Amino acid sequence: MEKIIVTEEIIWLAEKRIEDIPILKDSIRGKEANLIGSIGEVMFEKFIQEQGLMLEKENGEQEKYNHDYIVEGKYTVDVKTKERSVVPKDSYDCTVAQKTLDHQKPDYFYFVSLLKKKDVLVAEAKFTEAFMLGATDLPTFVREGEVWNEGDVDVRNGKRIRVDCRSIEICCLISNHEFIKILKSPIMF
C-alpha cells in the first residue's frame, strides 16, 4: 500500500474529466461517485506513469462494460475507488459490485482508497490522501473473493451491504511492487 497526496491539480483533472460523463444508471451516489472514481483514475495514471509504464485510457461504449485502461498495450485494468474515513488496514475489503462483474472482464482490478476529512463538503478540501492498495487478477478475485448479497450485514464492522458484490481483503491483493513487475514483464503464452 502506497500513500499519495491528493493535490489540487489531481482534483481539477478529475473534475474536468467528469464534466461529460453521464451518471451511471443505478448509481447510489450519482455525480459524487463519478468524482470519486475519476480521482482514483487520475491517481492510477500518475502512479503507472511514474513507474515508466505506458497506459491508454479506453473510451466509448467498451469503457462502460469492460475496463478503464490498457497498460503497456497488453494488460487491461479497471480501477475501483472507495472513499474512507480512516486509513485503510490490511483487513479492510476491496469490493466490486456483482452487476459490474457481470459486464467487466479486465485482466486486473486495481484498488484505490481516498481518505476523506470529516465534515468537509468541498471536493478540493475533502480528499487529501489516496492509498494505492494493489491489484487482483480477475480469476483470483472470482475464486477467492467473498460473495455478499444486498441486505447482508458484515459482522466485522456492522455495515449493511447495499448491492450484491464480491470483495477481497487488502492483504490478499497483489502488492504494488509485484503488480508493476507483472505489468513490465512480457506476456507468456
User: What pLDDT score was predicted for residue 86?
Assistant: 92
Predicted structure pTM score: 0.89
8-18 helix and 31-50 helix, angle to the nearest 10 degrees = 120
Q: Name beta bridge partners: 95.
A: 167
Contact call for residues 138 and 166 (beta carbons, < 8 A)? no
Each as own residue / partner, the long-range contacts of residues 31-37 (CB below 8 Å, 24 or more positions apart, any chain) are: 35/123, 36/81, 36/82, 36/83, 36/114, 37/79, 37/81
- Cβ within 8 Å of residue 173, ≥6 positions away: 94, 111, 133, 134, 135, 136
**All cell numbers assigned to 71:** 497498460
CA angle in degrees (0–180, nearest 5) for 96-52-111: 15
User: What pLDDT score was predicted for residue 58?
Assistant: 76
Averaged confidence pLDDT in the chain? 87
Q: pLDDT averaged over consecutive 10-residue blocks of the chain (189 residues)?
A: 92 86 61 84 95 85 66 94 93 93 92 85 74 97 95 90 95 97 81
The Cα–Cα gap between 150 and 179 comes to 31
User: What pLDDT score was predicted for residue 62?
Assistant: 47
**All cell numbers assigned to 93:** 475489503
Q: Model confidence over 106-126: pLDDT tens digits?
A: 999 999 999 988 776 665 568
User: What pLDDT score was predicted for residue 67?
Assistant: 73
User: What pLDDT score was predicted for residue 33?
Assistant: 75
